[in-house]
Chain A
Amino acid sequence: MKDIDIVEHDERLKNEFRRELVDRGVLNVTLQALDPLHAEAVKPPHVAWREFQGRIGRDASAKLATVPLHSQSTRRSRSKVMWSSVAGAVSAVIVAFLLTVGWQSAIHNIHTHMSGRVSTYATAMGQHSTVTLPDGSTVVLNVASTLEVPTDFGVGSRTVKLNGEALFTVVHKSGKPFTVLAGESKTQVLGTRFMVRRYDSDSTAMVAVQEGRVNVNSIIVNAEEKVVVAHRGVISRETVSAGQFTFASGILTLEGVSLLEAIPELNRWYNADIRIGDPGLENEYIKARFASGSLTDLAEIFELLFNARIVSAGRVLTLYSKGNEVKG
């Protein structure tokens, strides 16, 4: 009894102190100052593991053969079949999943998720939605996004699956990490605010933290940082700008991307079909904030930004440089 009190007290003290540092905006500075070499990259675990295997050599492979029941291939293929038959997820999810959690609990999670039912929340293009989960955590779903929540969410674990982009505000639950699976990324937190993005058209997943910190594929990501996750794990880590999170308040921020890159974003945001009629426009850069609005507004913005002329036909907007448009 007394032990439990001490543990809870310790955790409360820690949360209070973290909160103090966050409120003063110095949590990151503190953690960095504690690790004077923080700027030096630590070897990724999979690289270190290969070296480890080299050192233990024959020993490991010999031992592997003695435990066929738990051999890697058996476990992975079985999980993959179950997962894809129900959710149609790519195998990368399973691999990333198994690589980043304890194998015992991973199998357990997949079983319960797949045997239990899943509630699906989805937004169409041009549409936003806020979902409140049973634990009080909220998820702002950006346009054209899907969130899968198991009906037993919060019973054993708090795990959801995302396709698209969403901002999560997670309520702290002692001992119950909140997990978001999206493509090759697995983000785990206790209580914090962060966003995850992984549309089908993206080749990587991105996780950006607004408050607190999260664990993405075993890498700790602090507030105001974002990481990009590819098949081989986390491939970049950088400072994130506030614009990354504005979609949750109804503003799409594009910061210095080419028009070519911006168009899929704008199409999803406005439920539009924007086309470039003049290749010269493709490499024009956009730095702008778009509120939710009509296509007419968008056409006006484009005219302003690029000195472009817009030809619209239904939902299709075609952009031409002024003076270069093809008459027809």
Chain B
Amino acid sequence: MPYNHSNLPPVGSDQLVEAFRRGDVDAFEQWYRLLFVPLTKFARQLCGSTDLAHDLVQDVFVSIWTRRAEFNIATSTAAYMYGAVRRRVLQEHRHLAVVQRSEKIAESTGVTFGLGEAPASPDQLTENSAVRTKIVAAINALPQRQRLALTLWLEHDLSTAEIAKALDISDRVARRLLEKARNGIREALADLVVES
């Protein structure tokens, strides 16, 4: 089960939502603090700007707080929030422009990957950058939807069902996106074995 933002158990989470629907700003604050960082990371992946992501996530929270009495979610609140953030980003930009922009950034930053702490030996350095380059290339080669699904699955620890809700697709499509993304990365890793 998710633990980074949904460490409120399903029951606790219902109670939390129930509390802020009644106007309990403390309950809302707990929820806000848990979700703000993961939602911002998700948003910036969609819009290609951390600054813009901050603002858009803030908008979503303001809008939910303002209309809290209508807030009625039967299942995962986290999935709902990711979905709400996604819709807000799409509203901000035309879809195509957003996708192009984030893909361009992915490409440009992909090249500079591998910087950081210098590893112990020169051998390690070559090996690590080779692995990094390969993985970064494999991930950049994935279609945006697969990347999003994989991020929500691995980084944000959502379930397939939650990803389906967040991306507004069917469970079956979500599963297929994840499978393709996994295969893409596995292929890159298999290549590495062959080369070495």
A: residues with CB less than 8 A from B are 6-7, 10-11, 13-14, 17-18, 20-21, 24-26, 29-37, 39-46, 48-49, 51-52, 55-56, 59-61, 63-64, 66-67, 70-72, 75, 98-105, 174-175, 177, 188-190, 215, 218-220, 239
B20-28, B79-87, B90-98 - interface stretch: B20-28
Q: List 20 A-B contacts (CB under 8 A).
A: A10-B161, A17-B182, A43-B40, A43-B54, A45-B34, A48-B32, A48-B54, A48-B57, A56-B62, A63-B24, A64-B26, A67-B22, A70-B19, A99-B30, A99-B33, A104-B8, A104-B27, A174-B1, A177-B7, A218-B33
Dominant SS among interface residues on chain B: helix
Q: A34-B155, A51-B58, A218-B37 are in contact. Are A239 and B117 (CB under 8 A)?
A: yes
Contact with A along B1-25 (1 / 0, CB 8 A): 1011001110011011001001111
Complex contact A101–B58 (CB within 8 A) = no
- Contacting residue for A34 out of B22, B23, B154, B157, CB 8 A: B154
| Chain A minimum-CB-distance residue to B61 | A52
B30 close to A101 (CB less than 8 A): yes
Measured CB to CB, the residues of B under 8 A from A are: 1, 3-4, 7-9, 12-13, 15-16, 19, 22-27, 29-34, 36-38, 40-41, 44-45, 48-50, 53-54, 57-58, 61-62, 65-66, 102, 105-106, 109-110, 113, 116-117, 131-132, 135-136, 139-140, 147, 150-151, 153-155, 157, 159-161, 178, 182, 185-186, 189, 192
A63 and B25: CB pair below 8 A? Answer: yes
Min CB distance A304 to B, Å, is 24
* Interchain CA distance A215-B8 in the complex, whole Å: 13
> What 5 A-B pairs have minimum CB-CB distances, sorted nearest first?
A102-B8, A63-B23, A45-B33, A33-B139, A40-B50
Residues of chain B with a CB closer than 8 A to A100's CB = 33-34
- B141 to chain A: closest CB distance in Å? 11
When the two chains form their complex, are residues B155 and A31 in contact, meaning their CB atoms are under 8 A apart? yes
Q: Name the CB-closest residue of A to B53.
A: A42
Closest residue of chain A to B65 (Cβ to Cβ) is A56
Please, which residues of chain B bring their CB within 8 A of the CB of A105? 8-9, 12
The listed residue (B36, B135, B160) touching A48 by CB distance below 8 A is B36
Instruction: State whether B30 touches A34 (Cβ < 8 A).
Output: no
Query: Could you tell me the dominant secondary structure of chain A's interface residues?
Result: helix
List 4 other contacts, CB 8 Å, given A10-B160, A34-B147: A29-B132, A49-B33, A52-B32, A188-B3
Asked if B25 and A102 sit within 8 Å, CB to CB, the answer is no
Q: Considering only CB atoms, which chain B residue lies closest to A14 in the complex?
A: B153
The reply to whether B140 and A33 contact each other, CB–CB distance below 8 Å, is yes
Cα A32 to Cα B109 in complex, Å, equals 10
**Cα of A215 to Cα of B53 in the assembled complex, Å:** 22
Q: Considering only CB atoms, which chain A residue lies closest to B139 in the complex?
A: A33
Task: Give the distance in Å from the alpha carbon of A11 to the alpha carbon of B45 in the complex.
Answer: 24
**Cβ-defined contact, A189 with B154, below 8 A:** no
